[in-house]
Every structure is written in C-alpha cells, then in structure tokens.
Amino acid sequence: MHNLTQVWEKYPLSGYVVQGSNGEVVYLNEEEKVDVVKFVRATISSEKLLIAGAGCESTKQTIGLCKKMGEAGANAVLVINPFYYNKAMTNVNVIINHFNQVANKSPVPVIIYNMPANTGIDIPNEAIIQLSKHPNIIGMKDSGAKIGKIAYIIQECPGFQVLAGSASFLASALMCGAVGGVCALANIAPGLVLEMMSKIRQKDYTKAFSIQKRLVESNAAVTSRWGVPGLKAAMESLPFLRGSYLRSPLLPLTKKEKGTLEIILQKADISKALRHELC
C-alpha cells in the first residue's frame, strides 16, 4: 500500500477522512475497510484526527462497523444515510431512528454524511436539527452544495460542527460558520486549500475567493466531471503523489481525458504549488 500520508503529513492538516466517497468505500469488503484505517492510523501523527467511513445500508451493520472502526483507531465515524430503499429513506422518522440507534452504540462520535448526489436523498433539515441534540452526534459533512441549508443548520444547531463536503463551496461555507472541510481537492492541492481557509479566518476575503476561483475547474475535474478516476489520474500526474489503480466497474480516464485534465491542473498551477511546498 503506497504511503501517501508521508506527503500529506508535511501539511498542517487537522486530520484525515478514510473510507469516504473518494476512498472507493463501496468497493471494499469490511476487512479491507478496517485494514486501511489501521494502516492510516499507524502512519500519521497521533495528534491528527482520523475519521473513518462506517455507513452501511442496515442499522445493525453500521453499528458493527462503527465499533470496528473505533477499535482500529478512528476518533470519529462518518455515517452516510441508508438509501437503497429510497422512498422509505425519505421518511424523517426513519432517518432519525437509524442515526439515533447508531449513535447510542457507537464507541466514538458520529458525523452525519449528507451526500445527495450519490444517495439521491438530501437529509431533511428537520432530521438534522433533531439529531444534533444527540450527545454522540457531533456534526455533519454536507456535500449538497446548498449554502442556504448549511447556514440554516449552523444557525439552528449551536455547537454542531458542520464541514463543507467540497472545496467548490468551502470559502462560502466557512463564512457561514462551518468549522472546516472534507475536500477531494485537498488530496492534490492541500496547501492551496489550507491557504484559502487561512485567508477566510484572517478576513482577507479578496485573497480567499481569488484562490477559490482559481481552483473551481480543478475541483470539478476531480469530483463532478470525472470523479474518482479523475482524482486518481490527477494524483498520478502530479509530483510526489500516486493515484494507484481503480476498482471495477470504474475505468481509468482515456488518453484524451488525461490530456484535458493535465491542462486544467496546469492552469491552476497545482504542480508548481506542490513542488514549492514540498521541496
């Protein structure tokens, strides 16, 4: 297993999310999921936060995986809502019941993962507000890109920690009170993402949004446009990183797509930034 954490540990990142959408979590069996978390825990600073994906379709499976992730060294678990029985899962009471049961038995704090692009369900505000009152549910990663929703949840849930699920709206989310982000783009541009966050905290909004605009196309390339294959191709093409292989049924980018991707990354000077930061 290639140790990418040797690169990322050079940056002042707060921590890592393992077994998220970009970790191809749905293509790993339970043993593999736990092994990856153990590996990352062993290769990062003990001070770094480690969040492990533990969402499954059944409540029982989710609870079981939460326990194993806690034993593997995770500080918290990221739990996506069940979605296969889509119509039933839009019921607010079903969502609340599921997360409450998981939080009651998880040995580590739970973070709700709202990912409507993949699940087809945007977790209702009513459910999130109710769940935010549970002492073992500490926050939410929201990848829905609705700034109004993020602002409303932050306003209605004091102390509830909201994380932006994409760099595409990270600056705006931070200005609304989000505490940070879990961003695919940080795999290839950690320094730039951290700089953008720093500028927001310094109230240098002009510089922050200048970085945000610079990264928009690259972020789209490794998320909505080409997804995991795009992210891994980007990592493979950049210095110090390695993208590794994809699991079927995902396929690698074509030669033409890789060429387009490299042009996009060059426009954002991501390779230059990595070399400057790490050399």
125's tokens: 């505000």
- By annotation, the residues acting in catalysis are 141
- pTM across the whole model: 0.96
Q: What is the pLDDT of residues 203-239, one digit of tens each?
A: 999 999 999 999 999 999 999 999 999 999 999 999 9
101's tokens: 């049961």
Using CA atoms, how far apart are residues 164 and 167, in angstroms rounded to an integer?
7
For residue 243, pLDDT beyond 90 = no
Q: What is the pLDDT of residue 244?
A: 81
Confidence band (pLDDT; 50, 70, 90) for 9? very high
Q: Which fold has domain 1-182?
A: TIM Barrel (3.20.20)
Residue 211: partners with Cβ closer than 8 Å, 6 or more residues away:
171, 192, 195, 196, 199
Q: What is the pLDDT of residue 2?
A: 57
Domain boundaries, the chain: 1-182, 190-279
**Mean pLDDT computed over 120-138:** 98
**Mean pLDDT computed over 60-68:** 98
CB 51 within 8 A of CB 21: no
Residue 207: partners with Cβ closer than 8 Å, 6 or more residues away:
199
**Mean pLDDT computed over 52-56:** 98
Over the Cα atoms of the chain, what is R_g? 18
Using CA atoms, how far apart are residues 229 and 90, in angstroms rounded to an integer?
30
Residue 39: partners with Cβ closer than 8 Å, 6 or more residues away:
1
Using CA atoms, how far apart are residues 97 and 241, in angstroms rounded to an integer?
41
Using CA atoms, how far apart are residues 200 and 185, in angstroms rounded to an integer?
18
Q: Tell me the HSE value of 135 on the side-chain side, using a 13 A CA sphere.
A: 3
Amino acid identity for residue 34 in this structure: V
Q: Tell me the HSE value of 279 on the side-chain side, using a 13 A CA sphere.
A: 8
For residue 1, pLDDT beyond 50 = no
